[in-house]
Amino acid sequence: MTEFTEFQYEHRESLTTLIGTQSATIIGPSPPQQSYEITEVVVTPYGTVGGAAITGRLMQFATLQGYSQYGTLAGTIVEPFAVSPGSAFRDGDGRAAVAYVDPGNILYGQVDSGSVLAKIVYRPINRRGW
């Protein structure tokens, strides 16, 4: 009755951002005691229907200096995607984790050409690993 618990799929937040060919920060860095749990990614490309597919990725990078155990993963891709104009890429339904950003890391986004609009549903969690 009086447990002191975390709530699994609540506390969700979402953000929508434009991702271009230059890597840009989406969220972070998460505090070293926390991770970001991503539960949904929706990517919509710009361009004429029938146009070329756009490939891209969400990546996490460590930014903390001298922080070795958890924060030095270099450039891990957490979510690759390929989208064609007119059809969005969607992974996850907001109710289960599809990717994590490790403690101390920043989530970056980048595409190989053009630009896309990305919606990311996530929550900060008090956990270092997963």
Partner 1 sequence: MRPDYSDLEECLIRENDLLLMGVNGGDTYIPLQCIARVETPYEYDPIIEGQLPGPLAASPSLDGITNTTYQTALQLGSQKVVAKPTDVFDLTYYPQWLYQMFVGIDPPWLRVFLQQPFRTDQRSLPLVYFTPNYPQEGYWDGYSSPPWHISPKTQMFVLPGLSIAIGYENKQPQPAYPMLTFYINAMQVAVINDPTLAYEMLTVPKMAKLYTVGGLQNVQWTPEAYYGITGFSLTDDQEAVAAGVTPVNANVQTGQRAV
Tell me the per-residue interface mask from 45 to 84 with partner 1, x by CB under 8 A, - otherwise: -------------------x--------------------
Asked whether 59 and 79 are in contact (CB, 8 A), the reply is no
Q: How far is the CB of 2 from partner 1 (least distance, A)?
A: 5
92 touches partner 1 by CB under 8 A: no
109 touches partner 1 by CB under 8 A: no
30 touches partner 1 by CB under 8 A: yes
CA torsion through residues 11, 95, 84, 55, sign: positive
The dihedral region occupied by 94, where left means phi > 0, alpha psi between -120 and 50, and beta the remainder, is left
Three-state DSSP at 74 gives coil
21 touches partner 1 by CB under 8 A: no
